[in-house]
């Protein structure tokens, strides 16, 4: 008894493995193992396995509603892929047992997805595939049944799975009337199923169906007749419909009507069937046909009526399966179109994102371009301003001496004179011209002449004030406008100029050539505030100084 079995020495993982392995074959041991596991301290994954075994146990007891709720809860919470697969296998079986096809399909779909996460070589992977093949065959979706079954057939497995693969594949192929390499697949299936207590007869039944399809009735009789004895006096209905229907059909093909009649009479003791309702209905039809031929019309009619009833039952069941399948397909295709819609939306979002990104890149590029433009513009403005300043400087200053040139002097002097006139300020103007300058050029060269001009400007500038305006107004002619000064200071400054010019030696080393200049002076009292007049009068005074022997100053004398 289970109570006497002692599992206390077995490690929990091993105990779980054994329980899972024997779950369908030994219910007493399973009960004891579950009891042992319930008494132990388990980790998260082990708790998952125990819940699965408890749920499985409920299915064995036919407590499908309880099993379903604990299995669905476990499906949601387990983190073990193996437990999730086992749970969905059980759910597929629970929904098959309760003919809940749409839920069965959704569990089958989950299982299909889950097994892709199992290694291809995993036994659980193969077992799940067989469960799927069986489920799809069961709901008469034989293409899917065949596809799944073929996956395991191709693995060429030995044992239970190899046998199951052959049965499932041939079952689907028979219903699809797919041509098979009959000899090879029949031999393989029969040999892999021989010795399998529960599967040997089903394998023979499925092979017999193949023989019926290929019209080889004697082979059916040879294969199945020895098994008839198992059904004598037995109340089991498992395989009962199939064996009697197949033998009856074979006998009819062999023209052995009496044997066929015997088979069909036994078959029609059944008025319902869980699995093979279609074959049971067809059995009634075959017998009705025989009775009709025997002239037992009333019996034939009654059998026909029963046939139609069973046929209707079968069609109802088949229709509910087909409807469930269509519904599930529709839900899948809805989900797929939802996924497609999401995908499309994603693409759209991605495109928008790309556009935005492009926009952002453009913006960034634009900003960079703008920055560069601003920078270049700044550079340009800065440069052009400095060029302008340089140009202005060029136009304002004498290139050789770096003091104001004539045009700048005229502009500034006009403004200053007008200011002075307005404010009744005194102004004086000194014009001076270097003496015998041509001789410097001629004797010491033009470059020496330039140097002399630069020295004169430099020396004179050192003796001017901030408000004085010194300029080179001609080749060797300079001009000084003194603001707020009377002629007394003008004479003082002129004498200072005379002195510093004397210190400039135009000659080359060893040849002394002291520079001199002739100065003409005037002021606002003599010449007014008009620039032209001031310049003219000062010029006249210069001429006077030159005429008087040079190297001297002359104050403008209006009378002369
Ligand atoms: N080296 C040099 N010579 C210049 C420059 N501008 C004018 N001259 C020269 O200055 C000389 C002026 O000569 P003139 O007008 O005859 O006068 P001067 O020789 O000074 O004689 P007086 O004025 O009568 O004393 C000319 O030979 C011009 O070539 C200049 O920028 N550099």
- Write the residue with the smallest CA distance to atom 4 of ligand 1: 475
* Cα 448 to ligand 1 centroid, rounded to whole Å: 12
Kindly state the average pLDDT of the residues 61-76: 93
Q: What is the mean pLDDT of residues 194-213?
A: 88
Q: How many CA atoms lie within 13 Å of 350's alpha carbon, on the beta-carbon side? A: 6
Strands 477-483, 427-434: parallel, antiparallel or unpaired by DSSP? antiparallel
Query: DSSP string covering 82-122, please?
Result: HHHHHHHHHHHHHHHHTT-HHHHHHHHHHHHHHHTTS-TT-
Instruction: Tell me: pLDDT of 1 over 50.
Output: no
Closest residue CA from atom 23 of ligand 1: 435
Coil, helix or strand for 505? strand
> What spacing in Å lies between the alpha carbon of 311 and ligand 1's midpoint?
139
Looking at the structure, do residues 116 and 83 belong to the same domain, yes or no?
no
Closest residue (by CA) to atom 14 of ligand 1? 438
Q: Which residues of 280-304 are buried (b: 16+ CB within 10 A; e: fewer)?
A: bbbbbbbbbbbbeeeeeeeebeebb
Is the same domain home to 73 and 118?
Answer: no
Distance 476 CA to ligand 1 centre (A): 6
- C-alpha 94: how far from its chain's center? 42
pLDDT at 6 (0 to 100) = 81
Q: What is the mean pLDDT of residues 35-53?
A: 93
- In a mutational test of the pocket of ligand 1, which residue from 399, 437, 542, 545 has the highest number of ligand atoms less than 8 Å from its CB? 437
371 found inside a domain: no
Nearest CA to ligand 1 atom 7: 475
Q: Which residues share a beta bridge with 430?
A: 480, 521
Centroid of ligand 1 to alpha carbon of 543 (angstroms) = 15
Average pLDDT in the chain: 87
Mutate to test the pocket of ligand 1, among 405, 444, 457, 476 (most ligand atoms within 8 A of CB): 476
CA 475 to ligand 1: nearest atom? 6
Atom of ligand 1 minimally distant from the CA of 437: 20
Sheet containing 477-483: give its strands across: 469-472, 477-483, 427-434, 517-523, 553-555
On the question of pLDDT at 76 being above 60, the answer is: yes
pLDDT tens figures, 432-470: 999 999 999 999 899 899 999 999 999 999 999 888 999
Query: E strand or H helix at 433, and its extent?
Result: strand 427-434
Q: Judge whether 149 lies within some domain.
A: yes
Higher pLDDT, 394 or 21: 21
User: In 3D, which of 168, 81, 61, 92 has the Cα closest to residue 124?
Assistant: 81
pLDDT at position 369: 67
Residue nearest to atom 13 of ligand 1 (CA): 438
Predicted local confidence at residue 318, as pLDDT: 82
Judged against a pLDDT cut of 60, whether residue 560 lies above it is answered with no
Nearest CA to ligand 1 atom 28: 438
In this structure, are 414 and 551 located in the same domain?
Answer: yes
Residues 410 and 511 in one domain: yes
Pocket probe for ligand 1: among 403, 452, 472, 475, the residue whose CB has the most ligand atoms within 8 Å is: 475
pLDDT beyond 50 at 256 = yes
Are 550 and 411 part of one and the same domain? yes
Atom of ligand 1 nearest to the CA of 550: 25
Q: Which residues pair with 553 in a beta bridge?
A: 519
Same domain? For 435 and 533 the reply is yes
Which of the four pLDDT bands, split at 50, 70 and 90, describes residue 313?
Answer: confident
What is the pLDDT at residue 327?
Answer: 72
| Percent helix, strand and coil across the chain, each to the nearest 5 | 70, 5, 25
Q: Could you give the CA distance from residue 339 to residue 341 in angstroms, rounded to a whole number?
A: 5
What is the CB < 6 Å shell around ligand 1? 400, 433-438, 441, 446, 449-450, 453, 475-476, 546
Tell the residue nearest (CA) to atom 24 of ligand 1. 436
Centre of ligand 1 from the C-alpha of residue 2, in Å: 140
Helix axes 81-97, 64-77, angle to 10 degrees: 150
Query: Taking the model in full, what pTM does it have?
Result: 0.54
**Judgement on whether residues 56 and 128 belong to the same structural domain of the protein:** no
Query: 91: domain range?
Result: 1-98
Does some domain include residue 329? no
Average pLDDT of the residues in 385-396? 67
54 and 188 within one domain: no
350 belongs to a structural domain: no
User: Of 185, 212, 239, which residue sits at a domain end?
Assistant: 212
**Same domain flag for 484 and 431:** yes
Q: What is the CATH number of the domain that holds 462?
A: 3.30.70.270
Pair 54, 89 in one domain: yes
ipTM metric: 0.95
249: which 2 tokens? 């059909």
Question: Would you say residue 365 has pLDDT above 80?
Answer: no
Instruction: Please give the pLDDT value at position 337.
Output: 65
Residue 15 placed within a domain: yes
Confidence of residue 184 (pLDDT cuts 50, 70, 90): confident
Total number of domains in the chain: 3
**537 alpha carbon – ligand 1 mean position (Å):** 21
Task: Measure CA 1 to chain center.
Answer: 61
Residue 358 placed within a domain: no
Ligand 1 pocket test, pick from 399, 431, 438 with the greatest ligand atom count within 8 Å of Cβ, gives 438
Ligand 1: which atom is nearest the Cα of residue 452? Answer: 1
- Whose tokens are 């046998």? That residue is 163
Domain boundary among 46, 65, 98: 98
Tell me whether strands 427-434 and 517-523 are parallel, antiparallel or unpaired: antiparallel
Whole-number pLDDT of residue 450:
94
- Is the confidence at residue 2, as pLDDT, over 60? no
Q: How far apart are CA 435 and CA 535, in angstroms?
A: 19
Indicate whether 342 belongs to any domain.
no
Q: Are residues 1 and 66 in the same domain?
A: yes
Looking at the structure, do residues 454 and 418 belong to the same domain, yes or no? yes
Give the pLDDT confidence of 83-125 residue by residue, as tens digits. Answer: 999 999 999 999 988 888 889 988 999 999 999 999 988 889 9
Q: Does a structural domain hold residue 77?
A: yes
Q: Scanning the structure block, which residue is given the tokens 């060429």?
A: 156
Name the more confident of 153 and 6: 153
Residues paired with 520 in a beta bridge: 431, 554
Last residue of a domain, one of 174, 194, 212: 212
Give the distance (Å) from ligand 1 centre to CA of residue 504. Answer: 16
pLDDT in tens, 147-166: 999 999 988 888 888 899 99
């Amino acid at each position: 008894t289970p109570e006497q079995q002692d599992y206390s020495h077995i490690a929990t993982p091993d105990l779980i493995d054994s329980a899972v392995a024997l779950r369908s074959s030994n219910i007493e041991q399973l009960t004891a193992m579950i009891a042992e596991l319930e008494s132990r301290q388990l980790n998260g994954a082990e708790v998952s396995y125990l819940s699965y075994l408890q749920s499985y146990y409920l299915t064995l007891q036919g407590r499908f509603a309880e099993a379903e709720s604990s299995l669905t809860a476990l499906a949601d919470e387990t983190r073990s892929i193996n437990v999730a697969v086992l749970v969905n296998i059980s759910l597929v079986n629970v929904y098959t047992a309760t003919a809940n096809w749409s839920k069965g399909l959704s569990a089958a779909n989950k299982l299909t997805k889950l097994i892709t996460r199992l290694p291809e070589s995993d036994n659980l992977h193969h077992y799940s595939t067989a469960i799927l093949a069986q489920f799809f065959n069961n709901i008469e979706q034989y293409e899917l049944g065949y596809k799944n079954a073929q996956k395991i057939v191709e693995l060429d497995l030995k044992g239970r799975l190899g046998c199951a693969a052959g049965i499932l594949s041939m079952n689907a192929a028979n219903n699809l009337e797919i041509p098979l390499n009959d000899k090879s697949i029949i031999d393989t299936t029969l040999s892999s199923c021989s010795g399998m207590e529960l599967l040997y007869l089903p394998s023979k039944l499925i092979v017999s169906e193949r023989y019926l399809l290929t019209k080889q009735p004697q082979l059916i009789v040879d294969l199945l007749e020895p098994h008839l004895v198992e059904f004598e006096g037995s109340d089991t209905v498992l395989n009962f419909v199939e064996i009697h229907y197949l033998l009856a059909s074979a006998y009819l093909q062999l023209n052995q009507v009496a044997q066929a009649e015997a088979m069909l009479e036994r078959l029609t003791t059944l008025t319902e069937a869980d699995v093979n309702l279609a074959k049971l209905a067809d059995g009634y039809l075959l017998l009705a046909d025989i009775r009709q031929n025997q002239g037992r019309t009333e019996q034939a009619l009654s059998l026909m009526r029963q046939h139609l009833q069973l046929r209707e039952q079968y069609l109802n069941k088949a229709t509910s399966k087909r409807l469930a399948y269509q519904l599930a397909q529709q839900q899948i295709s809805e989900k797929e179109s939802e996924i497609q819609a999401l995908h499309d939306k994603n693409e759209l979002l991605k495109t928008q994102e790309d556009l935005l990104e492009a926009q952002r890149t453009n913006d960034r590029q634009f900003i960079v371009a703008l920055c560069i433009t601003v920078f270049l513009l700044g550079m340009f403005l800065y440069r052009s301003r400095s060029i302008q300043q340089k140009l202005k400087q060029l136009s304002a200053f004498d290139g050789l001496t770096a003091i104001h040139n004539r045009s700048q002097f005229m502009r500034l002097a006009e403004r200053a004179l007008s200011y002075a006139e307005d404010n009744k300020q005194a102004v004086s103007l000194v014009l001076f011209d270097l003496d015998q300058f041509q001789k410097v050029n001629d004797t010491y060269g033009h470059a020496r002449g330039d140097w002399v001009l630069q020295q004169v400007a430099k020396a004179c500038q050192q003796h001017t004030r901030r408000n004085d305006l010194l300029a080179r107004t001609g080749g060797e002619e300079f001009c000084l406008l003194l603001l707020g000064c009377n002629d007394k200071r003008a004479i003082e400054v002129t004498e200072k100029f005379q002195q510093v010019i004397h210190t400039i030696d135009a000659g080359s080393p060893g040849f002394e050539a002291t520079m001199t200049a002739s100065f003409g002076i005037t002021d606002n009292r003599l010449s007014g505030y008009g620039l032209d007049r001031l310049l003219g009068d000062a010029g006249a005074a210069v001429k006077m100084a030159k005429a008087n022997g040079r190297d001297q100053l002359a104050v403008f004398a209006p009378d002369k």
